[in-house]
Amino acid sequence: MRAQAQPPNRQLAGPADWWRGAVIYQIYPRSFQDTDGDGVGDLAGITQRLDHVARLGADAIWISPFFTSPMKDFGYDVADYRDVDPLFGTLADFDALVARAHGLGLRVMIDLVLSHTSDQHPWFQDSRKGRDGPRADWYVWADPRPDGTVPNNWLSVFGGPAWAWSGKRMQYYLHNFLGSQPDLNFHNPAVQEAMLDVAHFWLERGVDGFRLDTINYYFHDRLLRDNPALPPSARNDSVAPLVNPYNWQDHLNSKNQPETIGFLRKLRALMDRYNAAAVGEVGDAQRGLDLMGAYTSGDDLMQMCYSFDFLAGERLTAERIAAIFAQLDEKAPHAWPCWAYSNHDMPRHISRWSLSDAAAKAYTTLLMCLRGSACLYQGEELGLPEAEIGFSDLQDPYGKEFWPEFRGRDGCRTPMVWQKDAPNGGFTAGRPWLPVPEAHLPRAADLAQQDSGGLLAHYRQALALRHAHPALRAGAQADMRADGPALSFRREGGGERLFVAANLSGRAAGVRVPQGAWAPAGAGFGSGPDGGGRLDLGPWEVAILTLR
């Protein structure tokens, strides 16, 4: 029976714009810490390890879904939005987690999957019974074409048509992801109210905000018009692997609809009552920055969104970063981005970009200096590389569908390694749901803790730098330029002016420094310019100067 006790938690106190420039640490609960020996991480395990996140210097945690679910997509197929899946614990465990996080000064953001549910959700079970029930229109149903084929050419992110047949209704239902993940019909006002009620439930339990999964998938084109073809030159792997035909369409009609703005305004009005904030995931390879701007440019919309520009396979060069910010400045100068190099859906950036520890440190420092908020993915502070998972151990349905050309997402989801010499790296006393790679053990947290010059220490230093300088956390950004492998820009705010230069290469580079009395902002972040106004940078060096 579901626990009904009123939770004691309330949102963490602080300014209304606490989210601006915040560093958010993503926790994938299946793989963080297991406390009951079943090989799957749980909420109690997160609570046990929160000290690690607090010492890192993060402002908030984002917990991937832990709701009741058949786990066909490992929690992103929700069967009950108001309860914890027994695999992860109970509502009481969640309340204890929130209380502990708040005690450490960490805000708690949870992953809300609003665009679709599991086909096991009671709403869908009611909807599929017939065309006249109270929830008949809660999902996207459509008649077949005269020849019985699917209503249009829309494709699923996970492969194949985005439509599944129901013999009970003699109609197809839309699923942008797995066939067991039917899409909700947000054109129905009752659906919107139900989703707002879900958000209200968790806000009342003390959460400080949400990560909004697939925020641009909420609405579909009412007329179900076909998506146009996408030229081969426009295809990229930032949202789906190139082997997936999903990349062959421009998804103008299956997502990205203008009605999304109206719902986001309703959600923002609710969150403002709790001083809560949201970061939306914009899953679109062609217009991610445009949508980020549309969804965050205004005090009545979402506070933050992230696109997939920093999650692509192509390494982030100085030129690419400058081009991304130039496009953002042109299309949405008032948008507030949230940047991430890695997450639970993409290969870890250490492997994706073939980074040495020195290079990883440079990218970490740069992330803490860019305008916007930032998401860190569990284990990146240890320098964990992408794991090699064999097909026999594979759990991800996405990987099974496109194996071996695409090996799925399990390589970035393997368990955290806490202790080098403990069974399974200290993650579990049982058999882990995914194998713990031997290659990860030398990077276990207990060893990293002892290395004052290692990557973990650098993450702590970089996050402390961001907190120490209001210009980095929330200030304006200007004059970004790329000089070969070196990226430079200015940050200004909170009564300080900073100049940042990052050499994103393994060879020496240099940049011109603006006129003024510039000096190093602190130990460990570069030296000052020479007498001619030039700043020389060693391989993978990041310099931060302050105007005296």
Coil, helix or strand at residue 346: coil
The verdict on 341 and 481 lying in the same domain is no
Place of tokens 């004059």: 479
Looking at the domain assignment, is residue 127 inside a domain?
A: no
Residue 114 CA to residue 137 CA, distance in Å, equals 16
Domain that holds residue 498: 475-547
| 480 within 8 A of 318, measured Cβ to Cβ | no
Crossing angle of helices 288-296 and 260-272, in 10° steps, is 50
Amino acid at 44: A
| Strand ranges in 296-388 using DSSP code E only, listed in sequence order | 304-306, 338-340, 373-377
Q: Which residues contact 7 (CB under 8 A, 6 or more apart)?
A: 91, 95, 98, 204, 205, 206
Sign of the CA dihedral with 96 first, then 100, 105, and 106 last:
negative
C-alpha–C-alpha distance, residues 75 and 139, integer Å: 19
Which residue did the predictor score with more confidence, 334 or 150? 150
pLDDT digits (tens, 9 = 90+) for 112-170: 999 999 999 999 999 999 999 999 999 999 999 999 999 999 999 999 999 999 999 99
Is the pLDDT at 172 greater than 80? The verdict is yes
Distance CA 262, CA 132 (A): 27
Residue 134 belongs to a domain = no
- Domain annotation covers residue 525: yes
Residue 12 within any structural domain of the chain? no
Summary mean pLDDT of the chain? 95
Same domain, 479 and 515: yes
Beta strands at 496-503 and 542-547: parallel, antiparallel or unpaired:
antiparallel
What is the rounded distance in angstroms from the CA atom of residue 2 to the CA atom of residue 6?
A: 12
Shared-domain flag, residues 394 and 481:
no
Is 213 catalytic? The answer is yes
Task: Give catalytic status of residue 388 as yes or no.
Answer: no
- Report the helix count and the strand count for the chain, using DSSP H and E: 13, 20
Q: How many CA atoms lie within 13 A of 387 on its CB side?
A: 27
Q: Worst-scoring range by mean pLDDT, 37-41, 503-507, 511-515?
A: 511-515
Q: Which of 13, 212, 204, 211 is nearest to 91 (CA)?
A: 204
Residues with Cβ within 8 Å of 112's Cβ and at least 6 positions away in sequence, in order, are: 198, 199, 202, 210, 211, 212, 213
260: tokens are 């999304």
User: pTM of this prediction?
Assistant: 0.96
What is the per-residue pLDDT across 473-507, written as a single tens digit (0 to 9) for each?
999 999 999 999 999 999 999 999 999 999 999 99
Q: Which helix (H) or strand (E) holds 126?
A: helix 122-127
- The pLDDT value recorded for residue 263 is 98
List Cβ neighbours of 139 (8 Å cut-off, separation of 6 or more).
123, 124, 127, 128, 173, 174, 182, 183, 184, 185
Short-list 356, 332, 347, CA closest to 379: 347
Number of domains in the chain: 2
The candidate with the shortest Cα–Cα distance to 276, out of 98, 77, 91, 27, is 98
CATH number at residue 512: 2.60.40.1180
pLDDT of res. 53: 98
Does one domain contain both 441 and 537? Answer: no
Catalytic residue among 281, 309, 380, 410: 281
Q: Which two tokens stand for residue 357?
A: 């520890």
**Structure token digits, residue 392:** 């026999």
Predicted pLDDT of residue 7: 62
| Same domain membership, residue 401 and residue 309 | yes
Does 160 reside within a domain? no
What pLDDT, on the 0 to 100 scale, is given for residue 2? 45
d(Cα 381, Cα 58) in Å, to the nearest integer?
Answer: 11
Catalytic pick among 213, 237, 309, 541:
213
Q: How far apart are CA 115 and CA 352, in angstroms?
A: 29
Same domain for 483 and 444: no
Tell me which of 465, 496, 525 is where a domain ends.
465
Q: What is the CATH number of the domain that holds 316?
A: 3.20.20.80
Chain centre to alpha carbon of residue 320: 20
Q: Which of 402, 431, 465 is the last residue of a domain?
A: 465
Q: What is d(CA 499, CA 65) in angstroms, rounded to the nearest whole number?
A: 39
- Range name among 94-98, 321-325, 382-386, 516-520 with the lowest pLDDT average: 516-520
Residues 438 and 520 in one domain: no
Among 465, 491, 522, identify where a domain stops.
465
- 438-461 pLDDT, tens digit per residue, is 999 999 999 999 999 999 999 999
Residue 234 belongs to some domain of the structure: no
Same domain, 321 and 279: yes
The yes-or-no verdict on residue 5 having pLDDT over 60 is no
253 band by pLDDT with thresholds 50, 70 and 90: very high
485 and 339 share a domain?
no
User: Are 504 and 459 within one domain?
Assistant: no
* 146: preceding bond cis by omega (within 30 degrees): no
In a domain, 291, yes or no: yes
Same domain assignment for residues 315 and 438: yes
Averaged pLDDT, 194-214: 98
Spatial separation of the C-alpha atoms in residues 199 and 196, rounded to whole Å = 5
Same domain, 274 and 414: yes
* Burial (0-12, 13-18, 19+ Cβ within 10 Å), 412: buried
Q: Is residue 358 part of a domain?
A: yes
